[in-house]
Structure 1
Amino acid sequence: MTMILAITNQKGGVGKTTTAVNLAASLAATRRKVLLLDLDPQGNATTGSGVDKYHLEKSLYEVLTRKCSTEEAIVKCPEAGYDLLPANADLTAAEVELINVIGRELRLKRALAEVSDRYDYILIDCPPSLSMLTVNAMVASEAVFIPMQCEYFALEGLSALMETVESIREAYNPDLQIEGLLRTMYDPRAGLTNDVSAQLTEHFGDKLYDTVIPRNIRLAEAPSHGVPALVYDRTSRGALAYLALAGEMNRRHRSRRGADKVREQV
C-alpha cells in the first residue's frame, strides 16, 4: 500500500527540502520504492537530486497542466536510489493557468493515481507557503510530515500549519492526518531546544518522531554536489540520522498496518 506524504511547513528555512531529499534516499536504501515530487518552483529538490532544473524536457508543470502524463515526466535518479518528478520556475505558471479551472485542487491527486501503485512511498516537497500547490499536495496525501526547528517562531508557524491542515480536512480531504513532526537542526546544548522539545512532546505525544536531525555540515554541502548526504558521506551524522528516520518510519507503518488488519478481523 502506497504512503503519500506532504512534507511541509509554512515557515521557510526549517530543513524541509533537506528532509525530502534525504528521507527519500534513506527509504530507498531500505529497499523501498520511492517517488520524490518537487512541488516547489525553486526546484531545490530537483537540483539536490542531481537533475538540471534548467534543461528539463518535462516537469511537474506539464503534468499539472495536462501537457504530458505523469509517467512521461518521471526521471530516474539511480545514484540517489529513487524516482523524481522534477520542477523549476515554470511551476509558478501552473498556479496562474489553473486559477479558474474547476477541480484544480485535485490535479495532483489524479496525476499520482496514474503511478502510485508502483511505489511504497511518495514524498512531496511543498513550497514554504500556503498556495494552490500546497493545497494540491495536502489533497493528494494521506498525511502531512512536518520538519521544524526547536525555536519560538517555529512554534508560531506550527500553529498556523495546524489550522491549514484542519481547513483542508473540512474542504477537501477528511482523512488527512498528521504523520509526524521531525526536529531538525537539533542542538541539545541549547536550553530553548529542550524547552520546545518538551512542549512538542506534551502536545503531540507519539506524533513526535524520536529521531532528531542534528546540525551537520555534510547535509549542507551535499546539495551542491547534486546528491543526498547518504551518497556524499554515508558515515556523516546527518546521513545516519536520516537512515534512522527511515527505519523509524518503516516501523511505524508496519505497526499501523498490523493494527488495521487486527481491526478488520474483529
Structure 2
Amino acid sequence: MGWQQPDELPTTLSTLMQKAMNDQPIQPGEGILHHAEGVDLIPANIELAGLEVTLVNSMNREKMLKQVLDSAKREYDFILLDCMPSLGMLTINALAAADAALIPVQAQYLSAKGLEQLLQTVQKVRRQINPKLKIEGILLTMTDSRTNYGKQISNLIRQAYGKNLKVFEQTIPRSVRAAETSAVGKSIFQHDPKGKVAEAYKSLAKEVQADADRQRKLSSERAR
C-alpha cells in the first residue's frame, strides 16, 4: 500500500485495539491513512504480533477489533480485513467483526488441508460469537493451469467443498508482476493494468458483486 516503514507510523491497528482494550475513546478517522488510489487503510506493524498475547487476558477479547471498526464503518461501503494465515486471536477478532469471509486458498496440498481447520473455526465463531457471519466463498489463488498438479488441487477443492460452499469460478493466476506490487507500493491495477492478474481481480469483483445483488433481491422478496 506504499508505506515502506510501518514500524515508524505513530498510530496503527495495534494502537487502536489497545485503546479499545483500555476503554479509551477512539477519535473519528484516527489511524486511517489515505492511499492515492482512493483506498483508506488502517496499517499494522510488528506491534500487532505482541498484542495477540495481551488479548488473551482481555475481557471480551474476541470483539476488540469490532469495537475499533464500529467507529469507522458508517463512513464506508466496504471494509476488507486482511488476515494472516493463522487461526490465532487476531483472526478470531476479524471473524467476529465481519459480515462474510472470503477464503483465499493457494492451489497446493497443504493449503487445501488447512482449509478444513479454518472452516471449523468459522462455524465455531458463528455459533458462539457472530451468528450473522457467512462464507462468501473460496477463492483459488496462485493457480497454474499449465501443470497437472495445479489442476488436481483445483478439482479436489471444487469436489470436496463445491456442494456446500461457493467456490469462485474466477481463479487468481500466479504472476511475478503481482509479487512486485508490494515493493512498488501500487495496486496491480496501477502496476500492470492489462495483465492477467488485474483482469482476474476485476472479474472476481464482478462475481462477488453479482452474488451480493442476488442476496439483496432474495432478502427483499422474502420481506414482501
- The runs of at least 4 consecutive aligned structure 1 residues that moved more than 6 Å come to none
In structure 1, runs of 5+ residues without a counterpart are 1-48
Q: What's the counterpart of residue 13 of structure 2?
A: 60
Q: Which residue in 2 is equivalent to 1:247? A: 206
Q: Any idea what the Cα deviations from partners look like across 1:78-126, whole Å, max 9, x if unmatched?
A: 23x2110101001123223332221011111121111112212111111
TM-score using structure 2 length: 0.90
Q: How many Å separate the matches in 1 of 2:214 and 2:36?
A: 30
Q: Which amino acid aligns with 2:207?
A: E
> Matches of 1:69 and 1:147 in 2, distance apart?
33
Query: Paired residue for 1:4?
Result: none
Indicate conservation of the 8 Å contact 1:188/1:194, yes or no: yes
The one of 149, 156, 162 equivalent to 2:113 is 156
1:168-226 Cα distance to aligned partner (Å, 9 max, x none) = 12221122211111111111122232222223223224611111111111101111101
Q: Of the candidates 77, 99, 110, which is equivalent to residue 35 of structure 2?
A: 77
State the alpha-carbon separation in 1 of the partners of residues 78 and 175 from structure 2.
26
The code of the aligned residue for 1:195 comes to: Q
Partners of 1:97 and 1:201 in 2: CA distance: 39
Greater CA radius of gyration, 1 or 2?
2
Summarize the alignment of residues 19-30 of structure 1 with structure 2, pairs less than 5 Å apart.
none
The residue that corresponds to 2:130 in the other structure is: 173
Q: Quote the Cα distance in structure 2 between the aligned partners of 1:73 and 1:65.
A: 13
CA-to-aligned-CA distance 1:213-254 (integer Å, 9 cap, x gap) = 111111011111011111112111111111111111111111
1:201 lines up with 2:158 in the alignment: yes
* Map of 2:187 onto structure 1: 228
Comparing both structures, which one devotes a greater share of its residues to strand? Answer: 1
Return the alpha-carbon distance in structure 2 between the equivalents of residues 210 and 201 of structure 1: 10
Question: How far apart, in 1, do the equivalents of 2:156 and 2:217 lie?
Answer: 30
RMSD: 1.6
**Deviation string, structure 1 residues 37-60 (Cα, Å, up to 9, x no partner):** xxxxxxxxxxxx012312212110
- 1:124 is the counterpart of 2:81: yes
How many residue pairs get matched? 216
For 1:89, the equivalent position in structure 2 comes to 46
Task: Name the aligned partner's letter for residue 100 of structure 2.
Answer: A
Q: Which residue of the partner structure matches residue 260 of structure 1? A: 219
Partners of 2:43 and 2:28 in 1: CA distance: 11
Look up the match of 1:238. 197
Q: Secondary structure at the match of 1:194?
A: helix
TM normalised by structure 1 equals: 0.76
Instruction: Report if the CA contact (8 A) 1:70-1:112 is conserved.
Output: no
Q: Give the equivalent residue in structure 2 for 1:16.
A: none
- Which is bigger in relative contact order (C-alpha 8 A, separation at least 6)? 1
* Distance in structure 1 (CA, Å) of the matches to 2:28 and 2:155: 42
Identity of aligned residues (%): 36
Partner-residue secondary structure (3-state), 1:123: coil
